[in-house]
Chains A and B, each alone.
Chain A
Amino acid sequence: MDVTELKSRHIIYAILFLVIVIFLSATTGPAQLPLGQFFAAVAVHLPVISGHFHVSSLNEALVWQLIMPRICLGLLVGAMLASAGAAYQGVFLNPLADPYLLGVASGAGLGATIVLVFIPVALSFSFNLLPVAAFIGAVISVALTFTLGKAAGSGRNSSSLLLSGIAVAAFFTAAQTFLQQRSSAGQIQDVYSWILGSLATAGWSDVTLILPYVGLSAITLVAMRRLLDALAVGDLEAQSIGVKASTIRIIIIIAATLGTAAAVSVSGLIGFVGIIVPHMIRLVMGPSYKRILPLSILYGGAFLVLADYLARTILYPEEVPLGVITAFLGAPFFLVVLRTSKRLI
């Protein structure tokens, strides 16, 4: 019985990978900052040891205002998308489920489009309106999905929820496309690049904006990891082992959706992370969410930081959209794992 619970060894591997990715991303970028300078720049912001380090104000600003928030945001967004994807796959018992399933993407897209098209750039920038509008749009669309799905009797059956999600997404996407068509070419490009996802404008305000949602959501999902396994045996059996399936499902969906909405609002629609990371872990570690969920959080964060590092270095000084990187590199890698793994999805 050596594989029943997640082993600390696996957590250590994941953390090691995460740390390597963070250092790679922080120190080998276009700025070519030495490792010592990077540590010093971080250290002067830490409470006790700050007095012992000296660093030029340029490097300090570079690290603390540009690099660190971008890495932190990448970690949060990646961790959220991957764990939400894993949770959705467990709740809907469907390997194709991704975090955007219930209309998060289309709602956030519409919210962002409204800001980009109608609000003057200066105004929206100074109030950081874009993420707020995207978040509100995402929450509205998911609330709508729930209300409609509930009306169609989703208490026991998740497929009515899925179908109403599809309907809501179609409606919001149509509205967004309509707005886009009526806007200028520059605005269309803004909307388009937002949809493809980017961490280029990341600042500490974005991190603090989504941290409570992502934190709460991640803790909830990790707490539910064993109950997700129980959902796989069907509602009645789950109840016989003390798990009220309908309630658990709603809690998990709400947690995953709120977290995803927060992540999307600051990063745009980064595709593929929510599918590829949990499945990669599933292929290697087996189908139990006891292992998939905690590891999804760690590897999801690392994967997105790595993807963002590539996005800004591959065609330097230009930035490649993050969604392009995640899919362009993720898909072939995923296929290799799929091909070599003996397990089935």
Chain B
Amino acid sequence: MTTFLEKNLTGEIDTREIPTDRDANTNLVEVRKLNITRNKVLLLEDISFNIKTGEFVGLIGKNGVGKTTLLQAFIDGDHRKIYQGDIEIAKIKFPAKSIRESAKLVAYVPQLPHIPKQMLVCDYVMLGRLPYQNYLGNMSIADLEITKEVLAQLDLANFSNRVLGELSGGELQRVIIARALVQKAPFLVLDEPATSLDIYHQLMLLELLKDLCKSQEMTIFCSLHDINLAAQYCDRIIMLGQNKVLADNIPSQVLTRENIKEAFSVDSQLHTVKDNLVVIPRLFTNPYSDQFRGRK
């Protein structure tokens, strides 16, 4: 608690961040032989992968294949019984020795966040500072500074006194990401953050995430439904198949006709337009065509 006191007295910016090795070629995240069992059924088996510091890794796969469950391996809490295996973040075994320490390592943006509609934006964003606050004391100046800085960075400075219920989808998504960013964790996990956004806001969001990786050396692991967005923005893609990692490589290596067929059961055409990989997916058979119905 002395650090908290010192910080409160001097009002300096929080220096208690988890020490991370900022060398670009070191692994921030190491997952070794992770088995995930849900309702006594093995969902994912023997999952191993690394994520380097500053890397933007996408996670793609069919609905129900275990994307969300895999991402939730990076949350400490009551649900951890379903995970067996080793996870290390910044050379610290995860979950860390307390749930607060874990929250300093990983920030999480869920797929369907609970939005307390009456809560003020600043109060909501400030929740991300909870792992750094003691129970009886007031917030430190550093907490306020960091929150202000993040709100400004995400173009939310004028929103701090608005209530969450009034915000548009794009604004709300930024507020939720702001809450995760004030956690000052080196590793940011997002579960389908782009799904409910229009094209403009999807691109804005992914540019933001990309920028976080580049300018602040955040490391991002993010599930996406849109494989073209994933191809466009991710440094690397992890593709989940039935019970396993189907492919784990740069986008052009992962997104092949065979892989897409196995992962999503769809056919696809692949084109390269000005160095951008474009996937045009289509069904093998149209279940609603006359021909198909006739055969039935």
The residues of A with any CB-CB pair to B shorter than 8 Å are 1-5, 155-156, 219, 222-224, 226-227, 229-230, 232-237, 239-246, 286-288, 290, 343-345
B280 at the interface (CB under 8 A from A): no
Tell me how far the C-beta of A7 lies from the nearest C-beta in chain B, rounded to whole angstroms: 11
- Contact between B118 and A240, CB atoms less than 8 A apart: no
- Contact between B78 and A156, CB atoms less than 8 A apart: yes
What B residues does A235 contact at CB under 8 A? 77-78
- Contact between A241 and B78, CB atoms less than 8 A apart: no
- Contact between A239 and B78, CB atoms less than 8 A apart: yes
Interface 1/0s, chain B 140-164, versus A by CB < 8 A? 0000100110010000000011010
Q: Which residue of B lies closest to A289 (CB)?
A: B123
Pick the 7 closest A-B CB pairs, nearest first: A242-B103, A239-B77, A240-B108, A242-B131, A234-B114, A242-B100, A223-B135
**Residues A222 and B136 in contact in the complex (CB < 8 Å), given A233-B127, A240-B103, A288-B119:** yes
What B residues does A237 contact at CB under 8 A? 108, 110, 113-114
Select which of A2, A239, A288, A345 is within 8 A of B76 by beta carbon: A239
- Contact between B160 and A1, CB atoms less than 8 A apart: yes
What B residues does A344 contact at CB under 8 A? 117-118
Q: Which residue of A lies closest to B131 (CB)?
A: A242
- Contact between A242 and B102, CB atoms less than 8 A apart: yes
B255 at the interface (CB under 8 A from A): no
| 11 A-B residue pairings within 8 Å (CB atoms) | A1-B148, A236-B72, A236-B79, A240-B75, A240-B103, A242-B99, A242-B101, A286-B119, A290-B123, A344-B117, A344-B118
| 14 extra interface residue pairs, beta carbon distance < 8 Å, beyond A1-B161, A156-B78, A241-B103 | A223-B136, A226-B127, A232-B116, A233-B116, A234-B113, A236-B75, A236-B79, A240-B107, A241-B183, A242-B98, A243-B99, A244-B78, A244-B99, A245-B77
What B residues does A219 contact at CB under 8 A? 136
CA distance A256 to B32 in the complex (A): 44
What B residues does A229 contact at CB under 8 A? 116, 119, 123, 127
Tell me how far the C-beta of A327 lies from the nearest C-beta in chain B, rounded to whole angstroms: 26
Select which of A3, A223, A241 is within 8 A of B161 by beta carbon: A3
**Residues A232 and B144 in contact in the complex (CB < 8 Å), given A5-B138, A241-B127:** no
What A residues does B240 contact at CB under 8 A? none
B133 at the interface (CB under 8 A from A): yes
What B residues does A240 contact at CB under 8 A? 75-77, 103, 106-108, 110
Q: Which residue of A lies closest to B74 (CB)?
A: A240
B122 at the interface (CB under 8 A from A): yes
What A residues does B126 contact at CB under 8 A? 4
* Residue picked from B117, B118, B144, most chain A C-beta under 10 Å: B118
Tell me how far the C-beta of B172 lies from the nearest C-beta in chain A, rounded to whole angstroms: 13
- Contact between A287 and B119, CB atoms less than 8 A apart: yes
The residues of B with any CB-CB pair to A shorter than 8 Å are 72, 75-79, 98-104, 106-108, 110, 113-120, 122-124, 126-128, 130-131, 133, 135-136, 138-139, 144, 147-148, 151, 160-161, 163, 179, 183
Select which of A2, A242, A288, A345 is within 8 A of B130 by beta carbon: A242
- Contact between A232 and B119, CB atoms less than 8 A apart: yes
**Residues A244 and B116 in contact in the complex (CB < 8 Å), given A227-B130, A233-B127:** no
CA distance A246 to B99 in the complex (A): 13
CA distance A58 to B118 in the complex (A): 54
What A residues does B116 contact at CB under 8 A? 229, 232-233, 287
**Residues A2 and B75 in contact in the complex (CB < 8 Å), given A227-B130, A241-B183, A242-B100:** no
- Contact between A286 and B99, CB atoms less than 8 A apart: no
- Contact between B120 and A241, CB atoms less than 8 A apart: no
Select which of B99, B135, B147 is within 8 A of A1 by beta carbon: B147
CA distance A4 to B106 in the complex (A): 24
CA distance A343 to B120 in the complex (A): 11
Q: Which residue of B lies closest to A220 (CB)?
A: B135
Tell me how far the C-beta of B160 lies from the nearest C-beta in chain A, rounded to whole angstroms: 5
What A residues does B183 contact at CB under 8 A? 241
- Contact between B127 and A286, CB atoms less than 8 A apart: no
What A residues does B114 contact at CB under 8 A? 232-234, 237
What B residues does A241 contact at CB under 8 A? 103, 107, 127-128, 130-131, 179, 183
CA distance A219 to B136 in the complex (A): 8
CA distance A311 to B246 in the complex (A): 74
Tell me how far the C-beta of B48 lies from the nearest C-beta in chain A, rounded to whole angstroms: 23
Tell me how far the C-beta of A231 lies from the nearest C-beta in chain B, rounded to whole angstroms: 9
What B residues does A243 contact at CB under 8 A? 99, 130
* Residue picked from B79, B102, B127, most chain A C-beta under 10 Å: B127
Q: Which residue of B lies closest to A93 (CB)?
A: B116
CA distance A191 to B203 in the complex (A): 68
- Contact between B131 and A3, CB atoms less than 8 A apart: no
What B residues does A2 contact at CB under 8 A? 161
